[in-house]
Amino acid sequence: MELVIASNNKGKIREILELLPDAVLLSLEDVGFTDDTPEPWHTFEENALAKASAVYAFCGKNVFADDSGICVNALDGRPGVDSAHFSGTRDDEQNLQHLLRELEGKDDRSAYYKAVICLIWNGEVYYFEGVCNGHIISEKRGGGGFGYDPVFVPDGFSHTFGELSPDVKNSISHRGRAVRKMVEFIKSKEQT
């Protein structure tokens, strides 16, 4: 299976490599794609499609893009698609601190991570979704993962994604769930 990952996010790429050990994954650098694709849309699906289709138009290879974010119930689902620049910067630490400030004084700290993968496979477009429910704690714990992981505790656990091992995170995360659905789909296509 040869696939291009349409992402420059190092945290995402590291997790996807762990989740797809048998695939030949090409980076944007490998295929010579240097543009920064705008993500002006209001849904994960639209942003994932924008990223995947820009790369597909450029190189014509099978490609997938993950658009993901954290949705906080007390904030009406924000930051959602704006997770990567919630504070007005693209800095993970500033975004996390901005989220903690927005949640100050709120009783409901429930949240979920969501990932939508857009796969362009032999010219056809497919989507795979994964969700992971949990809640936001008020102080950072753990140095693993990336983004909001040090303050996100998944349901059924007492540790944050920043404290849990990569294997445990991948087994329950939004991205892990979406990637596994995509792998099952590709395997079924390869058998037909």
The type of residue at 20 is L
Only one of the segments 56-64, 66-74, 122-130, 183-191 lies at the binding site for ligand IMP (rule: CB under 6 A); that segment is: 66-74
Min separation Cβ 174 and ligand IMP, Å: 7
Neighbouring C-beta atoms of residue 184, cutoff 10 Å? 11
Among residues 84, 153, 178, 186, which is the contact residue for ligand IMP, using CB under 6 A? Answer: 84
Q: With respect to ligand IMP, which residue has the nearer C-beta, 3 or 16?
A: 16
Structure token digits, residue 162:
């920043």
- DSSP tag of 37: -
Helix (H/G/I), strand (E/B), else coil: 137: coil
Q: How far is CA 15 from CA 21, 42, 120, 166, 179, in A?
A: 10, 25, 20, 8, 10
145 is a site residue for ligand IMP (CB under 6 A): yes
Among residues 6, 19, 52, 68, which is the contact residue for ligand IMP, using CB under 6 A? Answer: 68
- DSSP tag of 158: S
Min separation Cβ 148 and ligand IMP, Å: 4
Using the structure block, give the residue that is written with the tokens 């995170």.
Answer: 169
Among residues 119, 175, 177, 178, which is the contact residue for ligand IMP, using CB under 6 A? Answer: 175
Strand order in the sheet with 2-5: 24-26, 2-5, 63-72, 110-121, 124-136, 152-154
67 is catalytic: yes
For ligand IMP, how many residues bind (rule: CB under 6 A)? Answer: 17
130 is a site residue for ligand IMP (CB under 6 A): no
- Rounded-to-integer distance, Cα 91 and Cα 85, Å: 7
Q: With respect to ligand IMP, which residue has the nearer C-beta, 122 or 161?
A: 161
Which of 22, 36, 67, 167 is the catalytic position? 67
Residues that bind ligand IMP (CB under 6 A): 9, 39, 67-70, 83-84, 95, 113, 145-149, 173, 175
Residue numbers annotated as active site: 67
